[in-house]
Amino acid sequence: MLAIVGDPRASAHNPSDLLATYAEAEGLYQFWDRQWRTTGLGYLVVRRQATAETVGFCGVKVVRFREADALNLYYRLTPSAWGEGIATEAAAAVITWATARKPEIPIIARVGTDNVASQRVAAKIGLHRAPHLDQIGPDGPELIFISV
C-alpha cells in the first residue's frame, strides 16, 4: 500500500492522497477495513493474472454526494502497470460487483480535469459524464462521471 499510494507518480492527480510513512499506510488500511466491516463494500487488491504481483487497488466506498448516497469509484495503480488496460478491467469488474450488491445507489467517479487517462477509463466502463455535477475537490476541479 505504501509503495503504491506513496509513489508521487501514482498520486500525481490526487496529491492529498499521497502517503509518506508506514504509519499513514496503516491508518489508511484501518480506514479501508472499517469500510468493509460497516458497508460490506470497499477496495480490492489488483494483481497481475500471470504473476499475482500486486499492482494496485480498486473498489468503491459509500459517500455523501449532493445530499444522497453514492458509491465513489477508486482505482490506483503503480506506474509500471499503466497503459495495460488493468485499470479498465479492474474498474469494470468492480462496477459489476458493486451494482449487484447496491443497485439502488449510483456509482460516481470524480476525476481531475487534467487526468485524461482516468477520464477514458470512466467512459470505457460505462460511466457517463455529468457536467452539471462537476465540483471543486480537495485537489482541484473534478469532472463527475456517473452510472445511469
Say which CATH number the domain at 88 has: 3.40.630.30
pLDDT in tens, 118-138: 999 999 999 999 999 999 998
pLDDT in tens, 7-20: 999 999 988 999 99
Tell me, yes or no, whether 32 lies in a domain.
no
What is d(CA 145, CA 143) in angstroms, rounded to the nearest whole number? 7
Asked if residue 77 lies in contact with residue 55, where contact means CB atoms within 8 angstroms, the answer is yes
Tell me, yes or no, whether 92 lies in a domain.
yes
Domain that holds residue 56: 41-146
% of the chain at pLDDT higher than 90: 93
What is d(CA 61, CA 134) in angstroms, rounded to the nearest whole number? 19
Is this structure's pTM higher than 0.95?
no
Tell me, yes or no, whether 66 lies in a domain.
yes
pLDDT in tens, 53-66: 999 999 999 999 99
* Number of domains the chain contains: 1
Tell me, yes or no, whether 86 lies in a domain.
yes
